Structure 1
Amino acid sequence: MDDIEIINQVLQGDQQSFEELIKRYQHFVFTIALRYSRNREDAEEIAQDVFVKAYRSLADFRRDAKFSTWLCTIAMNTTRTFLRKVKPRMDPLDPGTVHAQHTGNSADPTEKRSTHLLVNHVIGLLSADDATIITLFYKAEQSIEEIGVIMGLTPNAVKVKLHRARLRLKEKLELYFADEIKEILN
């Protein structure tokens, strides 16, 4: 079933069908919340709030965009509201002391996970906007236009911001993890 069919079922009174939407998008929403909050517990709380808000507002979903785009907008707004209410926390990871470990075997699932963790960590070192645009484009596979809707930007502005975010990501990778990158590429 696609998202629209599930939404129609929920709106017709089958509240249990909403669980399928939660299963499909819980990782997506959690990732967005974590990018901004940088705290697992806060991200879990935010994700829960996002789905409650989405459920309550489901009748307002206009269907002129993908459900994931609409949900992402709710996630970003909920996260921003949450973060305004809490005091900023110190990032427990010092980027200068965090190093990924690699085995040297690119077919090794452990190395792939390590590489994935390395990239995620470096994305976490970016500003919230840069991390969000990278996450939306590469992990959530949102189009330039969808990212524009989510972030309130024109498609051209998204392209420029994405380009600049990629450059900053590359700089951080080269700055903090030059040895690991060389090992991955070999």
Structure 2
Amino acid sequence: MNKVEDQIYINKVLNGDVNSFSFLVDRYKDLIFTIAIRILKNREEAEEVAQDVFVKIFKSLYKFKGDSKFSTWIYKIAYNTCLDVLKKYNKQNNFIPIEEYSETQLAGLENIFDALVLKEQQISIQKCLNIMPYEESILLTLYYYEDQSLEEISKVLNINQNNAKVKLFRSRKKLESILRAQLPTEIIENYERSAK
């Protein structure tokens, strides 16, 4: 996403052209909804939160100083808004225990994830991400689907960069565990054969 182009539309909105805000909404609506659905795991709540997020963005657009990407700034607003909803309803997340892996299994983790991102397996990955606790799902979504750096992710999640790196590593391990449990054995075996 083009940082310069975002700034052009931000400036238009700040100069009174409120219709230009619709460009920013169109550009980021899918991502905001994805973040909300991953955290809240409820379509209606996610849609409502996505609308609230854009209202917050519009009202506080003048606060965006350009210190980070605009996308990072709005991801943080979306993430915090979702956390507020969770706190409000005191929702409990379903946590899946992490299994212990050998060094050999961990070495193949990156390759397994990369192969599964292919278009025909996208739906399976999305289902698995939905099973994960929201913070881990958001981490993986921002890193792999939105190409956010660890520095940008640390700003969104309000954690330091080293903590983001550790959490990303653990999230990938957990995703591998879920993928192995959810995907048909032949897909995994086929990938492992082709990776050798």
Tell me the distance in 1 between the aligned counterparts of 2:42 and 2:139.
19
Counterpart of 1:160, as a letter, is V
CA apart distance, 1:182: 3.0
TM-score by length of 1: 0.82
Q: CA RMSD in A?
A: 2.0
Is the contact made by 2:36 and 2:46 (CA closer than 8 Å) also made in structure 1? yes
Deviates more, 1:154-163 or 1:7-16: 154-163
TM-score by length of 2: 0.78
Is the contact made by 2:151 and 2:161 (CA closer than 8 Å) also made in structure 1? yes
Tell me the distance in 2 between the aligned counterparts of 1:167 and 1:89.
22
Instruction: Assess, with a 3 A threshold, how the Cα gap between structure 1 residues 141 and 81 changes in structure 2: closer, same or farther.
Output: same
Match of 1:38 in 2: 41
Tell me the distance in 2 between the aligned counterparts of 1:87 and 1:145.
29
Deviates more, 1:81-90 or 1:170-179: 81-90
Match of 1:149 in 2: 155
Work out whether 1:76 is the aligned partner of 2:70: no
Match of 1:127 in 2: 133
CA apart distance, 1:179: 2.0
Identity %: 39
Unaligned runs of 5+ in 2: 95-117
CA apart distance, 1:129: 1.4
Higher helix share: 2
Tell me the distance in 1 between the aligned counterparts of 2:58 and 2:69.
16
Post-superposition CA distance 1:114-159 (Å, at most 9, x none)? 5111101111111111111001111121111000111111111111
Unaligned runs of 5+ in 1: 92-111
Give the 5 Å matches for 1:82-101.
82-86=85-89, 88=91
Tell me the distance in 2 between the aligned counterparts of 1:184 and 1:84.
43
Tell me the distance in 1 between the aligned counterparts of 2:161 and 2:79.
18
Instruction: Assess, with a 3 A threshold, how the Cα gap between structure 1 residues 184 and 21 changes in structure 2: closer, same or farther.
Output: farther
CA apart distance, 1:90: 9.3
